[in-house]
Structure 1
Amino acid sequence: MRQLDLKKLLLPNLPYLLIGLYATKLGEAWRLAPGADASAKLLGLMDGFAAAFQSALPSFHPVDLLVGLCCGAALRLAVYFKGKNAKKYRKNMEYGSARWGTAEDIKPFMDPVFENNIILTQTERLTMNSRPKDPRTARNKNVLIIGGSGSGRRLAPDPAWGTGRLPS
């Protein structure tokens, strides 16, 4: 027989218990509202709230406790069903269909001639050809180059690029 861990059971449900205790004020306000039928009690509900909130302590009348228990349970069920219907989330795994790209993924977007590409990283390049062989690989050529002076990045073409040497 496994041991029931009271701390593990009580701590996650403590907010719902506290909300349920203070929801007893709703039952107390209804009980203290003047009137004999529902329509008269509804009209005097604000007076009932004024009487119920004279004290900060929750009401321990059995009917009020039942109202608080129902409110706390309803909130707990709403949170449970909201979490149950959420998209599937796998811990420590990528979410959705996104994944890290590989060299094979970028290969269709690179031109075989090195000089016809813009360098994105050390291993990735993007063709500057406006009409590649496969039209699906045509991409917008707007590129933001980030790097300080001397970092090896150039905004304008450099004559050294055609020689096979990397720019300084």
Structure 2
Amino acid sequence: MNTKIKKIIILNLPCFVFGLMSTKVYKAWRLSEGYEISDKFLNFSDSFSKAFQSPLPSFNIKDLMFGISIAVILRFVIYVKSKNSKKYRKGIEYGSARWGKSTDIEPFIDPVFQNNIILTQTERLMMSNRPKNPKYARNKNVIIVGGSGSGKTRFWLKPNLMQCHSSYVVTDPNGNLQ
């Protein structure tokens, strides 16, 4: 059997079985005596045993529609839950971080040097908002914090200002920037 078909069967079989069981539940609801909902609830357990006497599902059109709708809703819930599942790194424990390599930053660098924000001597960040692969799109905001004399202006601000590739908001309380 093809693995794709096997996967489809495995995913949908529980929904199918649950839908067949739901036809019996709706049959029990139909068979319960009473015209009002409260009367039907009181007699529901008595009709439940009648509905499950036969091993076959109920072939009444209302029962089948109820079973199909329950199966479709269940499959939709499973689909939504699987798409929203978090991505865990199984088998990788706490403390497994490592230093980045030059190959790790390559997708974030534009081949044209002037189209990058200079972060360090070897690391840059592309200015393009729409890279070829959308997972490499990053926020372009940068805040530089450091003590006096740490080289914030000389090593980061002036090289990026000289490129003039975007708009900058620079606060210079000392007035030393010229």
**TM-score (norm. length: structure 1):** 0.47
Larger Cα Rg: Structure 1 or Structure 2? Answer: 1
TM-score (norm 2): 0.45
